[in-house]
Structure 1
Amino acid sequence: MLQSSFTPTALDESELLGIQTLTDPVMSTAQSLSELAIRFFLNLLSCWVIVRLLYYPKSRRKDYVFTFLTFSSAMLLLLYAMGRVDVGVGLTLGLFAIFGVIRYRTETVPIREMTYLFVIIAIAAVNGLTPLYVVAGVPDNNPHYALSSGDVLLALAANALSIILILVLENSRGLRRSASKIILYDRIDLIVPERRDELFKDIEERCGITPVDVTIGNIDFLKDSAYIKIYYNTESCADTTLDSIIRDKQLIDNQTL
């Protein structure tokens, strides 16, 4: 009687399934610090170019320059820290909470400044979440983290495209920039619709600006004065803080004329 020479051997689950098990690679401290430095300085450089070279020359608002650069750096660090842990939905909820604080818990921000704010938030998100190190050496059974030149170029391209887009829009001659100004006008005889051309001419002579449209506000017939909001085209994008204060209707109504 023939006896089988086959001897059963114990196989683990990975061998039965044909799966090769590898030890998960861990980034070294030097790699983590270099990754953070690359992200931080790339983000700071991009935001500095956008804020200091594109935004500031036309607005001259140093307070917003400080706010944008500080907020962008803080947002980058926050996203980088959250991206290193598995937060899932918490990351999205955290971003919505931050946007909610910006929208409802601070004073009104002009539309141009709000646009720049969302631009630097988007750039901070790109620079904070784009993977720069990838796992390499898997075919050689030596997995480790290595800097991915492709991902670095992708991050650089995203930053460069954002800067180029803002540069083109800021210097486009086809896009007119409008501004508004509220004045206390003393010739209420000109505020009637029939004398609108005379009103425009008088405003241009006295204020030095060419109005495109006007809105008549609170009128005081006892003192022959009225609040008028003037809309005009301008090359400057500077915000008038005084106008932002007077823009509140309750403040105007309670103002002593």
Structure 2
Amino acid sequence: MQQLLAVAIDLVAITVLILGIYFPRHRRRDLVAAYIGVNVGVVAVSMVLGSAAIGAGLGLGLFGVLSIIRLRSREIEQHEVAYYFASLALGLIAGLGSDLGWIAGALMGLIVGAMFLADHPRLLHRYRQQTVVLDRAVSDAAELDRALEEVLGGRVHRADVKRLDLVNDTTVVDVRYEVARDGDRRREPRERVADSGRASLAEVRS
């Protein structure tokens, strides 16, 4: 009875995690089937392993094997890997931890809650990471930061040059930056227009 209750809690948890949190935020339908399939498969296998004396060791081995599986057909992002781990953990807890009773349910709730908060759109929402290709070779760090901030419209915190091509005059940079606030973005065009207006008046007077 406790095992069936753990499976029911797992199904509710994986549904909330994938259909309630992941899909509304990231909209990848193909990974919905992958996450749910991995979770249900792990539950079924771990329930069988849990009936054996060496079930716990095999369960940990299963977790280790499945955790290194990568999709070769299409690359997945780091946050999507986190959802894979969460799906695996939910399945293993439901299959091997049914004797824990409410503790198993609390652990599954903890996993879903942690993913909800850690992947929330408003958490550090102005920070970005991007690979940028500049149409000129820039070797000076200060000049590179200025060029990136002009292109990205934000404050550069870290810029790692991946390739400096002096022949083709390009620079490939991995950038960690913070986008400007909406208020700053609205003020920026006005300041540029005002500056250009003052420059025009200066030219006319001269």
Match of 2:69, SS state, is helix
Structure 1 residue runs without a partner (length 5+): 1-30, 133-149, 235-257
- In structure 2, give the amino acid aligned to 1:128: G
Task: Name the structure 2 match of 1:60.
Answer: 27
Structure 1 stretch 39-48 or stretch 153-162: which is displaced more? 153-162
Is the counterpart of residue 96 in structure 1 residue 64 in structure 2?
yes
| Within-5 A mapping of 1:60-79 | 60-79=27-46
Q: Tell me the percent identity.
A: 18
Deviation per CA, 1:63-91, whole angstroms, max 9, x where unpaired? 32222111111111110111122335444
RMSD of aligned C-alpha atoms? 3.4
C-alpha contact (below 8 Å) 2:63/2:88 kept by paired residues: no
Decide which structure has greater helix share: 2
Shift of 1:125: 1.4
C-alpha contact (below 8 Å) 2:79/2:119 kept by paired residues: no
Match of 2:54, SS state, is coil
- The alignment of Structure 1 onto Structure 2 pairs a total of residues equal to 178
Match of 1:102, SS state, is coil
Q: Flag as ranges the 4+ runs of structure 1 deviating above 6 A.
A: 103-108
- In structure 1, give the amino acid aligned to 2:116: L
C-alpha contact (below 8 Å) 1:191/1:199 kept by paired residues: no
Q: 1:53 to 1:215 in 2, by over 3 A?
A: same
Residues in 2 aligned to 1:58 and 1:217: alpha-carbon distance in whole angstroms = 30
Residues in 1 aligned to 2:26 and 2:139: alpha-carbon distance in whole angstroms = 31
| Larger-Rg structure | 1
- In structure 1, give the amino acid aligned to 2:80: E
Task: Name the structure 1 match of 2:190.
Answer: none
Residues in 1 aligned to 2:158 and 2:24: alpha-carbon distance in whole angstroms = 27
Is the counterpart of residue 181 in structure 1 residue 130 in structure 2?
yes
C-alpha contact (below 8 Å) 1:40/1:73 kept by paired residues: no
- TM-score, structure 1 as length reference: 0.56
- TM-score, structure 2 as length reference: 0.67
